[in-house]
Amino acid sequence: MDGSAGGIGGTGGAGGDAAVAGGGRVPSVPGFARWPDAGSAKAAGKALRERVPRSAHATLRADADRPGAVRAVEESNRGRIPALTPIRAGRMAATPFAFLRGAAGLMAHDLARTPVTRIGAQICGDAHAANFGLYGDARGGLVIDLNDFDETVHGPWEWDLKRLAASLVLAGREAGADEDTCREAAHDAAGAYRRTMRLLSKLSALDAWNAIADEELVSHTDAHDLLGTLERVSEKARANTSGRFAARSTEAAADGGRRFTDTPPVLRRVPDAEAAAVAASLAQYLTTLTEDRLPLLARYAVHDVAFRVVGTGSVGTRSYVVLLLDHRGEPLVLQVKEARASALGPHLPAAGFEVPEARHEGRRVVLGQKRMQVVSDILLGWTTVGGLPFQVRQFRNRKGSVDATALAADQIDDYARMTGALLARAHAHSADPRRVAGYCGKNEELDEAVATFAVAYADRTEADHAELVTAVRSGRVAAELGV
| Three-class DSSP category at 457 | helix
CA 453 vs CA 115, 195, 225, 232, 277: distances in Å: 12, 19, 26, 33, 47
Q: What per-residue confidence (pLDDT) applies to 26? A: 82
pLDDT tens digits, 345-392: 999 999 999 987 878 999 999 999 999 999 999 999 999 999 999 999
Q: Rounded to 10 degrees, what is the CA torsion of 102, 108, 113, 115? A: 120
Exposure b/e, 13-49, CB count within 10 A at least 16 = b = eeeeeeeeebeeeeeeeeeeeeeeeeeebbebbbebb
Q: Is the pLDDT of residue 29 over 50?
A: yes
Q: Is the pLDDT of residue 477 over 50?
A: yes
- pLDDT average, residue stretch 393-418: 94
Band the pLDDT of 20: cuts 50, 70, 90.
Answer: very low
Q: What would the DSSP string read from start to end of 194-233?
A: HHHHHHHHTS-HHHHHT-S-GGGHHHHHT-GGGHHHHHHH
Q: What per-residue confidence (pLDDT) applies to 393? A: 97
pLDDT tens digits, 422-442: 999 999 999 999 999 999 999
CA 331 vs CA 309, 381, 408, 419: distances in Å: 20, 19, 38, 33
pTM of the model: 0.93
Residue 459 burial (CB < 10 Å; 0-12/13-18/19+)? middle
pLDDT tens digits, 151-191: 999 999 999 999 999 999 999 999 999 999 999 999 999 99
pLDDT tens digits, 91-134: 999 999 999 999 999 999 999 999 999 999 999 999 999 999 99
CA distance 364 to 139: 26
Band the pLDDT of 199: cuts 50, 70, 90.
Answer: very high
| Three-class DSSP category at 124 | coil
pLDDT tens digits, 131-148: 999 999 888 888 999 999
Report the residue count for the chain: 483
Which parts of 84-140 are beta strand (E)? 120-123, 132-136
Q: What per-residue confidence (pLDDT) applies to 39? A: 77
8 A C-beta contact, residue 409 and residue 17: no
Q: What is the mean pLDDT of the chain?
A: 92
Q: What per-residue confidence (pLDDT) applies to 23? A: 57
8 A C-beta contact, residue 411 and residue 227: no
Query: How many CB atoms sit inside 10 A of residue 121's CB?
Result: 24
Q: What per-residue confidence (pLDDT) applies to 213? A: 79
The structural domains of the chain, with segments of one domain joined by +, span 41-238+400-474, 242-394
CA distance 115 to 50: 12
Band the pLDDT of 76: cuts 50, 70, 90.
Answer: very high
